[in-house]
Amino acid sequence: MVEETKLLYEGKAKKVYETNDPNLLIIYFKDDATAFNGKKHEIIDEKGALNKAITTKVFQWLEECGIKTHFVEENSGREIVVKRLKMIPVEVVVRNIAAGSIAKRLGLKQGEKLPRPILEYYYKSDELDDPWINEDHITAFGWADEETLKKIREIAFKVNECLREKFDKAGIILVDFKLEFGFDNEGNLVLGDEFTPDGSRLWDKETGEVLDKDRFRRDLGDLIEGYEKILMKISRV
């Protein structure tokens, strides 16, 4: 049985624990809701349990699509067991529809369908508010080499193709989402971290209702109601 030994890392929405198996970690999903890099913060009951359930379902979808992830198994109501990875300090964002920062930066209309999926990179740093970066930054500073970036790009678009289809069947529009990657102890590039409405935008296909963390960011409605709708819809697929 996998058991927690000590806290390795605590972020805004989760805790990561080392375990009695050196190759495995436990991710605990917190009830904290944050926005604007922690400037807005609330504790919302059951958020962590919902994020854990959504992450579990989405990683199961990805494995069905032949995409390697660090997910191993569920552990408790708020925990999953994952493979230990050497993480790349880059957030990979795939966008299908203009929303959030890209709409503001490029003067696009919120909800405008992009000509094709767009991939962006952000340096993972809370202190710097996760600044936008490009491939030259990544290779120049040694965060990843060109071959790894090519693989990341291929996997990210494969994830997008897989999840757009799955969410569409669930009656949800996949607007955009964040991914993180790392290497396992055999040197394989693997999808890590999580997939939750905290790090993605998910809209109801029929009504256009925002179901993700923008409900909290922009005061669009009850956060838990939105997350519960997502879980209910994807559980049917």
Task: Return mean pLDDT, the chain.
Answer: 96
* Each residue's pLDDT tens digit, 20-56: 999 999 999 999 998 877 678 999 999 999 999 999 9
* Each residue's pLDDT tens digit, 51-71: 999 999 999 999 999 999 999
Q: What is the mean pLDDT of residues 118-131?
A: 95
Name the packing angle between helices 146-169 and 47-64 (round to 10°).
110
168 C-beta neighbours (distance < 10 Å), count: 13
Closest CA to 119 of 159, 167, 146: 159
What domains are defined for the chain? 4-83 (3.30.200.20), 86-222 (3.30.470.20)
Burial of 114 (0-12, 13-18, 19+ CB in 10 A): middle
Q: So what's the pLDDT on residue 163? A: 98
Cβ atoms 34, 13 nearer than 8 A: yes
Q: So what's the pLDDT on residue 77? A: 83
Q: So what's the pLDDT on residue 168? A: 98
Strand partners, 178: 93
Reported confidence tier of residue 76, pLDDT bands at 50, 70, 90: confident
CA separation, residue 228 to residues 52, 54, 75, 137, 237 (Å): 12, 9, 20, 39, 15
Q: What is the mean pLDDT of residues 76-80?
A: 91
Q: So what's the pLDDT on residue 36? A: 78
Q: So what's the pLDDT on residue 180? A: 98
195: Cα separation from own chain's centroid = 3
Q: So what's the pLDDT on residue 38? A: 67
Strand partners, 132: 122
Q: What is the mean pLDDT of residues 110-120?
A: 97
CA separation, residue 110 to residues 98, 114, 175 (Å): 5, 11, 11
Q: So what's the pLDDT on residue 126? A: 86
Cβ atoms 218, 116 nearer than 8 A: no
Prediction pTM value: 0.95
Instruction: Give the residue ranges of DSSP H helices in the chain.
Output: 47-64, 101-106, 135-140, 146-169, 214-217, 223-234
* Each residue's pLDDT tens digit, 192-236: 999 999 999 999 999 999 999 999 999 999 999 999 999 999 999
Q: So what's the pLDDT on residue 150? A: 98
